[in-house]
Amino acid sequence: MLKAVKIRLYPNMEQSKQINQLLGCYRVVYNQCLNRKINSWKENQISENRTTLSHFFHHELIQKEEFPWLKEQNSKVLKQSIIDMLNAYQHFFKEHKGFPKFKSKKDNKQSCRFEIGAISKRNNYENRKLSLANIKDIKFRCSEKYINYLTKNKEGIKSATLSKLPCGQYYLSILIDGDLLKQVQQSQNTVGIDLGIKDFITTSEGETFENKHFKKSVSGRLKRLQRQLSRKQKGSNNRNKARLKLAKLYKKINDSKLNYLHKVTNTLINENQVICIEDLNVKGMVKNHRLAESISEMNFGEFVRILEYKANWYGRVVVKVDRFYPSSKTCNHCGYIKKDLKLSERQWVCPVCGEIIDRDYNAACNIKDEGMRIIGSSTTEFTLVDYPTMDDKVITPLKSSDRLKQENHNEQMSEFVQV
């Protein structure tokens, strides 16, 4: 089981200088190889691969008088930047994540990756020191649980990623192929969860997890630090000090948010075997300027990502319900759909059965029922009035506007071809 252990590094002045030089060299190799790949395709229609770029690195780039300091660094580490650049290309073509960009020393986060050959096998993690490539005996700090895990699975270390944050702190994420950190008992419970803004999560069991508003709680301090930063002269030491204060506050907010997400996901994973959740379109939701800040603050996408990989670790099942399923508009008692339900209506009365319905709790119950139906073990005793079952081949299922436009376009093109 692959797991990443993140530890904080505490380098001294000399080690910090070595790390910054390594990050700079890593960035230069990445940019030079990206520039070569772009120009080779533009000029000669040649697609550079890992073999040709490695040849360019060893026989041209390092030999240039313009970059004599590249020879001082570990070549195994610098060549990892070539792999990172090629991976960025793959993400662009396959996942459409944007064309690879040139790296700058002004980027918010600087990082480099160490393969197993660049991580010293003599590292004794019990003494809280480690060596990476040419950088020796860097002090680090983490929990006792992680120390024991590193010591136990020392032979399973695959790689490590060194990161420098905008606040000036250094972190190392070590990828380990080892056992799980803890054992979770099997459970027969099933739960549906509804993500929202008023309450972060409402479950089908009636439990709620509050929206903490980590950023809003320190909004006054954020404005004050941003105002101070804007008044400082660019390039001055005082501006850099103000930037560090602001970056540390943002890191504190993100750490608090991430800690809360881990607590919530741990609770859901420990208590339930099947977790049903709605497949939300977060990118589309944040286009609503009135709700964008609240939606972004709770990181719905990060919550789902954490929940999925923890479910994979501990043998849980996460079922995603289609985003067009009317979970909030459907009465969980009789199946009636209130088509004119507004976002501001937190409660409504079903005109068929007379049930007083809480919007979020009702949505969580419907998501649970639909999730169980998807995996073939639904226990619902009714058929929805206006929403067809997946087996009904007569009624057309719900579709998005973009999908309908594409299908209409395809029909027009087929008619044009026939003519």
| Segments making up each domain of the chain, as ranges | 2-177, 184-213+248-413
Contact yes or no for 145/174 (Cβ under 8 A): no
In DSSP terms, which residues pair with 55 in a beta bridge?
none
- 322 belongs to the catalytic site: no
Percent of the chain with pLDDT strictly greater than 70: 90
Higher pLDDT, 187 or 33: 33
Q: Is pLDDT of 319 > 90?
A: yes
Contact yes or no for 279/322 (Cβ under 8 A): yes
For the segment 369-381, the average pLDDT, to the nearest whole number, is: 73
For the segment 208-228, the average pLDDT, to the nearest whole number, is: 92
- 278 belongs to the catalytic site: yes
Q: Which residues of 43-75 are buried (b: 16+ CB within 10 A; e: fewer)?
A: eeeeebeeeebeebbeeebbeeeeeeebeebbb
**Model pLDDT, residue 1:** 81
At 277-307, the pLDDT tens digits run 998 888 888 887 877 887 888 888 899 999 9
Confidence of residue 32 (pLDDT cuts 50, 70, 90): very high
How far apart are the C-alpha atoms of 379 and 374, rounded to whole Å?
Answer: 11
Confidence of residue 377 (pLDDT cuts 50, 70, 90): low
Task: Give the tokens for residue 182.
Answer: 């803890």
The count of other CB atoms within 10 Å of the CB of residue 311 is 19
Selecting among 48, 297, 360, 370, the annotated active-site residue is 360
pTM above 0.75, yes or no: yes
Percent of the chain with pLDDT strictly greater than 90: 55
For the segment 179-189, the average pLDDT, to the nearest whole number, is: 77
Selecting among 84, 278, 369, 370, the annotated active-site residue is 278
Q: Look-up: residue for tokens 């103000």?
A: 242
**Model pLDDT, residue 411:** 52
**Model pLDDT, residue 50:** 93
How far apart are the C-alpha atoms of 390 and 371, rounded to whole Å?
Answer: 13
Confidence of residue 103 (pLDDT cuts 50, 70, 90): very high
Higher pLDDT, 413 or 263: 263
Task: Give the tokens for residue 50.
Answer: 């890992």
Higher pLDDT, 52 or 124: 52
Q: Is pLDDT of 405 > 50?
A: no
- 360 belongs to the catalytic site: yes
How far apart are the C-alpha atoms of 169 and 20, rounded to whole Å?
Answer: 12
Task: Give the tokens for residue 92.
Answer: 């662009």
Selecting among 194, 297, 369, 370, the annotated active-site residue is 194
Task: Give the tokens for residue 212.
Answer: 């903490």
Q: Is pLDDT of 386 > 50?
A: no
Confidence of residue 141 (pLDDT cuts 50, 70, 90): very high
The count of other CB atoms within 10 Å of the CB of residue 190 is 21
**Model pLDDT, residue 397:** 38
What phi and psi, each to the nearest 5 degrees, are found at residue 338?
Answer: -90, 95
Contact yes or no for 365/204 (Cβ under 8 A): yes
For the segment 331-347, the average pLDDT, to the nearest whole number, is: 86
**Model pLDDT, residue 409:** 45
Distance of CA 85 to CAs 22, 74, 136, 168, Å?
Answer: 17, 18, 27, 25
Task: Give the tokens for residue 144.
Answer: 């006792």
Average pLDDT, the chain: 85
DSSP 267-323: HHHHH-SEEEEE---HHHHTTSTTTHHHHHHHTHHHHHHHHHHHHHHHT-EEEEEPT
| Centroid of chain to Cα 174 | 17
Confidence of residue 2 (pLDDT cuts 50, 70, 90): confident
